[in-house]
Amino acid sequence: MHEARAPGAGPQPAGPRLLGDIGGTNARFGWQAGPQAAITQLQVLPCLEHARLEDAIRAYLHQQGLPPPACAALGIANPVTGDAVKMTNHAWAFSIEGLRAALGLDRLLMLNDFSALALALPALPPQALRAVGGGTAAPDAPRALIGPGTGLGVSGLLPVGGGAEAWPLSGEGGHVTLAASTEREFRVIQVLQARYGHVSAERVLSGPGLVDLYHALLALEGKRGIEIVSPAQVLERAGELPGSTANEALELFCGFLGSVAGDLALTLGARGGVYVGGGIVPRLGERLKASTFRERFEAKGRFRGYLQAIPTWVIDGAAPALLGAARALDLPVRPADPQAAASAG
Ligand SMILES: Nc1ncnc2c1ncn2[C@@H]1O[C@H](COP(=O)(O)OP(=O)(O)OP(=O)(O)O)[C@@H](O)[C@H]1O
């Protein structure tokens, strides 16, 4: 998390707020008339249609007929470790202070997009969550979050202050090394290793990853297959032909997702539940339930019982991370955030 403030601006400027969730493919924006106000004017802009993030923001404000906001909070799909931002899966790169000054904001808060989504978890309405498998969330326990999209977002929400508050993790868990659990997975990883060297979880648990899984299976079979270039095509063909390579690619995707989500739950002690977000899994409908996802989530040897008790949910709904971006603006400045503490203090 990193923020820039205008000289003389107070810690909590009043006035309208711009909220954003900036992914490698889509930039989602929303508007709040002030703190605690409802989020309105949701709009998704394709990143590729704008040369810079600043241009996308200006296009959003113009198209919605909105005045200049007083402050903004933007979740973005890359590590946010200082003033310089460079997206992992898109070309945008900028200075946070430069963007704040260009937009005339009193305050600009940037945070990782999945840290923003983690902050939104306690506020999601029940209808935004679809359970996959059993388990009951332990109150005041850590929660884990994972989401395949253009890349693989990972975060968690840790209770602090006796559970009265929670703090989001800002890691890069999408880039952990992918492990095989079956002979078939091992062979698929070997194909991907020849291409990428390091095979991270994101190399399969993302839109491009789903397409790569399909091509890796074709390579293993020595088949040509049909021309597939997008994850939407894999989903479409898998739905039409249960015996197809596309269907096996989707099954591998769900299995790997269960396995990586189970590892994350073990690492964080996420007895508060594991949430699956991002742009791909909500499109799978009942397919995730019918897949090996939950079996693989629980298949951790002596810790099967521990994982069986943890619920897993798919997050539905439009731009849930915007809710978390709004909450981030209201967080107290913490010593763990030295940049923000220095500028506030
Ligand atoms: N109908 C569809 N079926 C399957 N995948 C799709 C479909 N439409 C888009 N996608 C894929 O979803 C991915 C984008 O997901 P998402 O909307 O989460 O993106 P994002 O927020 O820009 O990404 P990230 O935050 O991971 O950088 C792309 O790989 C895209 O090809």
Spell out the domain ranges in the chain: 2-119+320-344, 125-319
Hey, what are 36's tokens? 């605690």
pLDDT above 70 as % of the chain: 95
Q: In the predicted model, is pLDDT for residue 164 greater than 80?
A: no
Quote ipTM for the complex. 0.97
Distance, in Å, from the CA atom of 33 to the CA atom of 321, rounded to the nearest integer, reads 18
* Per-residue pLDDT tens over the stretch 234-281: 999 999 988 999 999 999 999 999 999 999 999 999 999 999 999 999
Question: pLDDT per residue over 212-229, tens digit each?
Answer: 999 999 999 998 878 889
Residue 163 confidence (pLDDT) above 90: no
Positive or negative: CA dihedral 307, 131, 147, 79: negative
Q: Are 223 and 245 in contact (CB under 8 A)?
A: yes
In the reported structure, the alpha carbon of residue 299 is separated from the centroid of ligand 1 by a whole-number distance in angstroms of 28
Cα→Cα distances 107→3, 32, 104, 112, 231, Å: 7, 14, 9, 17, 38
Ligand 1 pocket check: which of 26, 213, 322 to mutate, most ligand atoms within 8 Å of Cβ? 26
CA-nearest residue for atom 17, ligand 1, is 279
Q: Which residues contact 248 (CB under 8 A, 6 or more apart)?
A: 217
Q: What is the CATH number of domain 2-119+320-344?
A: 3.30.420.40
pLDDT in tens, 116-131: 999 999 999 999 999 9
Q: Residue 309 burial by CB count (10 A; 0-12/13-18/19+): exposed, middle or buried?
A: middle
- Strand-pairing partners, residue 107, are 5, 71
Best of 28, 280, 281, 284 to mutate for ligand 1, by most ligand atoms within 8 A of CB? 280
| DSSP letter, residue 283 | G
Q: Whose CA is nearest to atom 2 of ligand 1?
A: 232
Residues with CB under 6 A from ligand 1: 23-26, 77, 89, 113, 149-151, 153, 207, 230-232, 235, 278-280, 283
What is the fold, at CATH topology level, of the domain defined by 125-319? Hexokinase; domain 1 (3.40.367)
Between CA 73 and CA 108 the distance in angstroms is 6
pLDDT for the residue 165: 80
Q: Token pair for residue 184?
A: 């078939």
